[in-house]
Structure 1
């Protein structure tokens, strides 16, 4: 990882004297309001698991990861603990917990392996396609966001996120009513994507509920991510969609495509909606 990347600094860890226990510092600039972004927390826990499992079994890549958000993480010191649940020849199942001041903020169940072990001759069947949208230069960058939103969401300055112009009506007071959101993503410091960045990317777009006219942010209760391949350098294409919003909840599915047009990550989350 690049020593100068702000993302790598944000997920940096220091081991304690106890095995599989790491210290972290949660930076407020990766937050939305007082809360640290859930995707950043998943990447941080994924980093801890990757470090420990690389040494323990050589299974350093996240394959499947389910995160349960138990309480809102704040800026400041945090502790990430990991535990191996089952060792296999090709995969290791493990758990990670992120806590602050003795209070658990997030718990993860994960399967790790090696993305490079996939048979090159195995057929790849994809029954969907990358989202069609204008080039990044013709999409709407975060610098165009309302000043009050930028002040509330410093996370946006850590990302080069560019939304399809069809998906910004909510920010102008005219939500489109469509059930999807899509855009481009990369880091402003040119740090290239990898599996840990994909754990962040699956939760980077504004909630689809905003363009459905449902006000308020959408805190995630649970998110499951599947990492399908190591991404190629360059821009990522992101698409989020939902088929059901009601009863105070929304499911949101994400697809992440790399610069070579490969589907490299998928996720589904359950979020609360309609909260101020």
Structure 2
């Protein structure tokens, strides 16, 4: 099977947006650009649409509406659970400058009575990743991980934890942070793995928004199975990734009061930190 390319892949088709003609039922305030989208069932977990996939959908709409091409930072608040099916994304420009532009966007779906329900709201700043300087001063180091072929694929995951999303990504977990698979969680709040799209599509800035929320939650390795709904997620895209699989690390340092944080780093094959994220999520009830 031929490898998918950027612009011609399942991910691109399932994040595709269709502009509405202004004034024809767009329902937004003046200056709003509206897009129709069909949220694919292929990116769901237990019927709920994955938060990283939603972030990528809104990221594509923002990139279409703003004068700069690439997400630099995007903060999302997840308001209600999104399901597969039709949705509307509305984007407003907040500020446009020479180097950066800022916009806000919301995704809406429809209740049984036809009223709109807001699922997710984001505020984002866009720029041009290709215009960044090469000056890097960092103490961050790429994670030490086994080679991809020595990590655990989807066939190692218990069947009851396999979701529709599982078939869309090529995820290989570091065995040292996947003891939960054999029923022996270590208690540490850490997950590491190699990440790619199942059809071989190369990574880009948009797919990094998916990758920041694609690994199993750290709570699995902490011995807390169950759904971990995201409350808020902020992602920073630092570089366009080099070709090849990405290394993703997710860590939790503080679980308290029924909530936890997950800090994410994504590294490319050239040992560059290409994306970072932090989210606040609800602790599963066990």
TM-score by structure 2 length? 0.91
1:29 aligns with 2:42: yes
Name the CA distance, whole Å, in 2 between partners of 1:66 and 1:2: 24
- Aligned match of 2:29: none
- Equivalent position to 1:73, from 82, 93, 99: 82
- Structure 2 residue 134 is matched with structure 1 residue 125: no
Contact 2:230 2:281 in 1 (8 A): yes
State the SS of the aligned residue for 2:83.
Answer: coil
> Which of the numbers 182, 199, 206 marks the counterpart of 2:216?
206
How far off its partner does 1:188 sit?
1.7
Does structure 2 conserve the Cα–Cα contact (< 8 Å) formed by 1:176 and 1:212?
yes
- Structure 1 segments of 4+ aligned residues over 4 angstroms from their partners: none
Matched position secondary structure for 1:140: coil
Which residue number corresponds to residue 145 of structure 1?
Answer: 157
Q: Report the equivalent of 1:183.
A: 193
State the partner residue of 2:105.
96
Q: Is the 8 A contact 1:218 1:275 kept in 2?
A: no
Deviations 1:239-270 (A, max 9, x none): 00011011110011000001111000000000
Change (3 A) 1:118 1:4: closer
| Residue equivalent to 1:109 | 123
| Inter-partner Cα distance in structure 2 for 1:271 and 1:164 | 23
The answer to whether residue 15 in structure 2 is matched with residue 11 in structure 1 is yes
Whole-angstrom CA distance in 2 between matches of 1:3 and 1:195:
13
1:215 Cα deviation from its structure 2 partner? 2.4
- Alignment match of 1:20 (pick from 33, 36, 39): 33
1:49/1:82 contact within 8 Å kept: yes
Match of 1:156 in 2: 166
Rounded Cα–Cα distance in structure 1 between residues aligned with 2:154 and 2:255: 26
Partner of 1:43, secondary structure, is: helix
Given that 1:186 and 1:193 are in contact with CA atoms closer than 8 Å, whether structure 2 keeps it comes out as: yes
What is residue 241 of structure 2 aligned with on the other side? 231
How far apart are residue 216 of structure 1 and its match?
Answer: 1.3
Long gaps (5+) in structure 1: none
- Distance in 1 between residues matched to 2:62 and 2:177, nearest whole Å: 35
Q: What corresponds to 2:25 in structure 1?
A: none
The root-mean-square deviation of aligned C-alpha atoms, in Å, is 1.2
Equivalence for 2:282: 272
- Any idea what SS the aligned residue of 1:20 has? strand
Q: Distance in 1 between matches of 2:49 and 2:285?
A: 18
Select between 73-82 and 212-221 the one with higher mean Cα deviation: 212-221
Query: TM-score, with normalisation over the residues of structure 1?
Result: 0.94
Output the CA distance in 2 between the equivalents of 1:265 and 1:31: 23
> 2:251 corresponds to which residue?
241
